[in-house]
Structure 1
Amino acid sequence: MVRVKKLLVGILSLRDHNTQINVTYAMIKVLNKLIGLGTPKI
């Protein structure tokens, strides 16, 4: 969780817990997409 925040945004500054969860899921989705782009297809 800490690594995802540091890689993409830094610090979540939103006060609403549900909004933080949604933003975190969006960041994880982007991170998974970036990892998928860097993986060679055999």
Structure 2
Amino acid sequence: HRRSVAETAMFRIKTLLGGHLSLRDYDAQAGEAMAMVKAVNKMTLLGMPNSIRIA
């Protein structure tokens, strides 16, 4: 199940932001990947409803 969730997350990232990293240096690629993940997390958070408890 965890593998399926991870594969779904990677598919979501690649679909939204492109399927490749544009930078050549490994450290730069790691930073680019983290920026992509943060962007997807932010978009996911913005799409979630704000719920409040009513009683």
Return the TM-score normalized by structure 1: 0.77
Aligned position for 2:6: none
Report 1:1-42 matches (<5 A).
Answer: 2-3=10-11, 4-42=13-51
Q: Per-residue displacement from partner, 1:20-42 (whole Å, max 9, x unpaired)?
A: 00011011111000000000010
In percent, how many aligned pairs have the same letter? 43
Return the TM-score normalized by structure 2: 0.63
Structure whose CA Rg is larger: 2
Greater RCO (Cα-Cα under 8 Å, separation 6 or more)? 1
Moved >3 Å (runs of 4+):
none
Match of 1:19, as an amino acid? A
Deviation at 1:11, TM superposition (A): 1.1
CA RMSD of aligned residues (A): 1.7
Tell me the matched-pair count: 42
Q: Call closer, same or farther: CA 1:40–1:2 in 2, change over 3 Å.
A: closer
- Unmatched 5+ stretches in structure 2: 1-8
